[in-house]
């Protein structure tokens, strides 16, 4: 259970859910029929990106929030957690909205395809809007995980802390055994052969 709630597992799951959510928007969410200029019925396959454009935008926001949870600052995680939850809720509501009102979701794409605005439309939803709810729910779950256990994740050292640690190790290294440390000692004005800074004659 601890591995499932680790930082790496949560971040990877959030990224995967965001990518899957974005991928579902490329599939056909509704199939509509409407009359064109000639009066003949035309069939239009409406993708998720056209039926619910907010889903793709939310998926990109979710991916950005998932990446933000890898930052060292703890406050970033407490911002990214609610963002992931809101992204998941928004995507789920948008997807379910397509299933409940297929005509409204298809109207823009049908008008663009047929060139007729305000005509009579009949439309039916595919299974993709409901399938899109699954990655949306995963984003909600990962957002809650960030809020509940993100504060217990080990803090990653910042770049300045890592540089300071490397400098400390370099100073503690015996220059006679490490050529790189010898150059560092020379740059600090020390004699690497003496094992320390030069002594000033009294």
pTM tops 0.75, yes or no: no
Give the chain as a 3 state SS string. CCCCCCHHHHHHHHHHHHHHHHHHCCCEEEEEEEECCCCCEEEEEEEHHHHCHHHHHHHHHHHHHHHHCCCCCHHHHHHHHHHHHHHHHHHHHHHHHHHHCHHHHHHHHHHHHHCCCCCCEEEEECCHHHHCHHHHHHHHHHHHHHHHHHHHCCCCCCHHHHHHHHHHHHHHCCCCCCHHHHHHHHHCCCECCCCECCCCCC
Rounded-to-integer distance, Cα 114 and Cα 130, Å:
27
Rounded-to-integer distance, Cα 137 and Cα 18, Å:
11
- pLDDT at residue number 57: 96
Rounded-to-integer distance, Cα 26 and Cα 156, Å:
37
Q: Are strands 28-35 and 41-47 parallel, antiparallel or unpaired?
A: antiparallel
Per residue in 5-36, pLDDT (tens digit) is 677 888 999 999 999 999 999 999 999 998 87
What backbone torsions phi and psi does residue 159 show, to the nearest 5 degrees?
-65, -40
Rounded-to-integer distance, Cα 186 and Cα 163, Å:
19
Does residue 165 register a pLDDT over 80? no
Share of the chain above pLDDT 70, in %: 71
- Span 7-152: which CATH code? 1.20.140
Closest CA relative to residue 27, chosen from 10, 12, 49, 11: 49
Domain positions in the chain:
7-152, 157-202
More confident residue, 185 or 86: 86
Q: Distance of CA 35 to CAs 32, 112, 123, 164, Å?
A: 10, 12, 12, 71
Per residue in 108-119, pLDDT (tens digit) is 998 888 887 877
């Amino acid at each position: 259970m601890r591995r499932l709630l680790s930082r790496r597992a949560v971040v990877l799951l959030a990224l995967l859910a965001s990518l899957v959510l974005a991928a579902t928007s490329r599939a056909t969410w509704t199939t509509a029929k409407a009359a064109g200029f000639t009066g003949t019925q035309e069939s239009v396959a409406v993708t998720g990106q056209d039926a619910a454009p907010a889903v793709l935008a939310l998926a990109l926001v979710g991916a950005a929030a998932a990446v933000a949870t890898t930052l060292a600052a703890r406050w970033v995680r407490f911002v990214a957690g609610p963002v992931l939850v809101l992204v998941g809720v928004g995507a789920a509501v948008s997807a379910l909205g397509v299933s409940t009102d297929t005509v409204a979701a298809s109207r823009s794409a049908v008008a663009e395809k047929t060139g007729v605005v305000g005509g009579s439309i009949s439309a039916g939803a595919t299974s993709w809007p409901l399938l899109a709810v699954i990655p949306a729910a995963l984003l909600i779950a990962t957002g809650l995980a960030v809020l509940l256990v993100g504060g217990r994740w080990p803090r990653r050292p910042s770049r300045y802390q890592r540089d300071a640690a490397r400098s400390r190790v370099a100073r503690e290294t015996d220059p006679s055994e490490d050529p790189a440390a010898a150059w560092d000692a020379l740059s600090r004005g020390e004699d690497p052969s003496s094992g320390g800074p030069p002594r000033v004659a009294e």
